Chain A
């Protein structure tokens, strides 16, 4: 045993930049990275809430900041990220749901994804219509 063990010298490879090794991992990291802008948007709203609680002048200051060019550009970026989140959320959904059987056949992953995306698009439109 020990003589045999002595010859063994298992080589452990590094995990440095593992996520660059495969496009699949890059897509996963992009999905995870959407969270940074989701957090930023939540913080922007939180600041808005603080300003709202401080009175009209404060709140108008916040509104004014939103109207600046850089802010609008930033929100365009945030919008793109939210749309990617919408897509990737339902892309992963078939993995997170228990298997669904319809007439004894397993519901295909794409059906789940597209149903989810459709639902989300409709809900987003309803929100828009309510607000307009």
Chain B
């Protein structure tokens, strides 16, 4: 029995703030099945090998966005990445890059949450609307303007892929700017004017240098690099036009 079970070595970056000066790798040997995700490997470690290991997870099906981590150096969802892809080699697991490490695989997310709130990620109606006016109607073309960007699960993989965020965390970063664009591009929304003060700033679209790795790692094909960079032309035009034309609302 035992000799037919495959095992894989998982090196986990550990950091326990109350006792470790700095993070270090700890290796665990984990027996696994072909359909085991990296998350299941970590759960095996926690349940059977070392109960002190900390990591975040919830849905196990790539929708809650909590299990993002660096897997062999790439930002990935642990529940969507399979151990068999790494076997017979070992694999390295670490907390998401560019965020401070809270503990083991858990990172500090306050900055991300604060930014997420700051862009008003909800529809701000253009004018008060009465119930009798009925629902908003949208054409398929209007839907396509934002549908892709609304798939974000706030997993922050794109932040771990963004050197500009790592170099200077004042930059709002890919995921949140993509969400800003998602609401700005929604025909039902009238909040663009409120959001674009940030958009036009160095902390907004202009902090991006088009590395585009964020779009590569996004598990939901949100393409944050496109959401950000397609705004630069408009922001530049607005920059020059504000001298010749009065600033219209919402532009």
Contacts and interface: CB of A to CB of B under 8 A. Distances in A.
| A interacts with B | yes
Chain B interface mostly:
mixed
Given A10-B102, A21-B73, A101-B141, A94 B226 contact: yes
Nearest to A12: B100
Given A8-B17, A18-B166, A96 B230 contact: yes
A96 B213 contact: no
A104 B163 contact: no
Interface residues of A, number: 26
Contacts of B17: 7-11
B216 A95 contact: no
Contacts of B51: none
Contact of A96 (B22, B145, B229): B229
A94 B17 CA distance: 43
Contact of B144 (A8, A92, A94, A99): A99
Interface string A27-66: 0100010000000000000000000000000000000000
Contacts of B220: none
Interface in B215-244: 215-216, 223, 225-226, 229-230, 232-233
Interface of A: 7-13, 15, 18-19, 21-22, 24-25, 28, 32, 92, 94-99, 101, 104, 106
